[in-house]
Amino acid sequence: MHNDTGRRDFFGVTRFLGINSIEETRKNRNVETLRGIAIILVVFGHMIGYTSSGGMRASDDSFLRYVYYSLEYIRLPLFTVISGWVYANKPVADTGNRRMFLKGKLRRLLIPMFVVSTLLFTMRMVVPGTNTTPDISALPRNLFLPYDVYWYLFSLFLIFVAVSLLDTKAFFREATGWFSTLVIAFILLCVSENYLDTMPNIFSFKGALYLFPFFLIGIGIFRYRYHLLNSRVAYLTFVVFAVAVVIQQLAWFGLIPLQERHSVLGMTVGVSAALLLFRMKYQNDLLIWIGGHAYGIFLFHVFFTGGSRIVLTRLGIENPLLVLCLGVIAAIILSIVVERAIRLSPFLRFCILGLRRENPSVSLQGGQKSAA
C-alpha cells in the first residue's frame, strides 16, 4: 500500500511541530486533553494579568477581571492534579532509585527555571512597553526567590522531594496513609496562610504548600479511581462544585467577602473541578496536541503574551476580547515553535528544556514529555 505520510507532512512542518507524534499515541488521551485545557487556562490567565497593573491591565471591575477570578480556582490546581496523576504512573517506588529520580526532576525543572526566568528578566529590562522593568541588581534574587510564573517550577520540585520521601513508605501507598497525608497537607496550607504570611517565600515553599494537596489528589485519582470517580462520588462532587461556584459568584458580586485561591472555597472548587473533569474522560485531538507541548508553552508563553499585546496594540487592535483571544493563540503557537526549534540543539535542549542531550532527529520524532 502506498504510504502518503510524506505528502501530509507539508515540507516537514507537521513533524517539526510534533503533530501526530509517536510519543503522543502512547499517552492517556483523556489526561492529555485535560493538560491541553489546563495550559490554555494558564496562558489565558497570564494574558489577562494577575492584577490590574499586569497583563492587559484589566480593571478590577471589568469583565476580563471577572473571567480571571472565575477561573482562578481551577487553572493551576488542574495542572497540578495532572502532574500528580502522571507521577503516579511511574512513582519513585517503582524506579527504586530516589537519587536518580530527584536528579532528573532537578534537570527538568530547576535548570529551565533559572535559565528561562533569567532570559525573561533580561528581556523586560531592555524591551520597551512591558508592564514591569526590573533592575539588574535584583537578578541574583532569582536563585532563591523564583521570578514571575516560574515559582511554580520550584514549588513542583519541592513537592517531588516530599513525595519521593513519602512514596517509599508502605503507609503512603495505602488508601488510609494517602488520605491522612492529604489531611496533613491541608493543615500545613492553613498554617502557612495564617501564620507564615510575613516570612519570605524562599524557594517558593508557600507555593508548594498550596499545590501539594492537589498533587496528592492526582495521585489518589490514579491509585483509587474506583473510589474517587465512581458514579455516587461524581454526583456528590457535582453538587459540591455547583454550590461552591455559586458562593464564588456571590463573592464576586459583593454579597459576601472575596475568597483567596487558598481559602476553603478555592480549594473546594479546585478539587471538585479536577475530579469532575477526570470523570468526564473527554478527548479532543487539538487539545491533546497542545497538551503534549504544555511544558514548552508554560516556559515560553510569558514572552509572547506581553509581546503579542504590544504588537496588537500598535496595529490598532484595541477590542479587549479580540486582543485576549489573538494573544493566547499567538502565545501558544509561538511557544510550540520555539520549543521545537530548541530541541534541534543538544546544548539548548539541556539548558532551556532540561532534556537529556540526544540526537535531535530522534527528539523530533517523539512528543513532548511531561515536566511531571
Q: 196-213: per-residue pLDDT in tens?
A: 988 999 999 999 999 999
Residue 319 lies in a domain: yes
| pLDDT value for 285 | 96
Residue 200 lies in a domain: yes
Three cell numbers written together for 280: 468526564
Residue 251 lies in a domain: yes
| pLDDT 10s digits, 133-148 | 888 888 888 888 888 8
| pLDDT value for 342 | 96
Burial class (CB in 10 A: 0-12, 13-18, 19+), 28: middle
Residue 241: which domain range? 21-365
| pLDDT 10s digits, 324-346 | 999 999 999 999 999 999 999 99
Least confident of 52-56, 223-227, 248-252: 52-56
Burial class (CB in 10 A: 0-12, 13-18, 19+), 30: middle
Q: How confident is the model at residue 52 (pLDDT cuts 50, 70, 90)?
A: confident
pLDDT cut 70: percent of the chain above it: 89
Residue 3 lies in a domain: no
In angstroms, the CA 120 to CA 99 distance is 31
Residue 320 lies in a domain: yes
Residue 192 lies in a domain: yes
Side chain identity, residue 102: L
Per the CB < 8 A criterion, the answer to whether 339 and 300 are in contact is: yes
Residue 139's CB is within 10 A of a number of other CB atoms, namely 15
Region of 234 on the Ramachandran plot (φ > 0 left; ψ -120 to 50 alpha; else beta): alpha
Q: How confident is the model at residue 97 (pLDDT cuts 50, 70, 90)?
A: confident
> Which pTM does this prediction carry?
0.88
Residue 274 lies in a domain: yes
| pLDDT value for 12 | 54
Tell me how many domains the chain contains.
1
Least confident of 14-28, 86-100, 243-257: 14-28
In angstroms, the CA 181 to CA 188 distance is 10
279-310: b or e for each residue (b if 16 or more CB lie within 10 Å)? beeeebeebbbbbbbbbbbbbbbbbbbbbbbe
Q: How confident is the model at residue 131 (pLDDT cuts 50, 70, 90)?
A: confident
The H-assigned helical ranges of 263-319 are 264-280, 285-291, 294-314
Residue 171 lies in a domain: yes
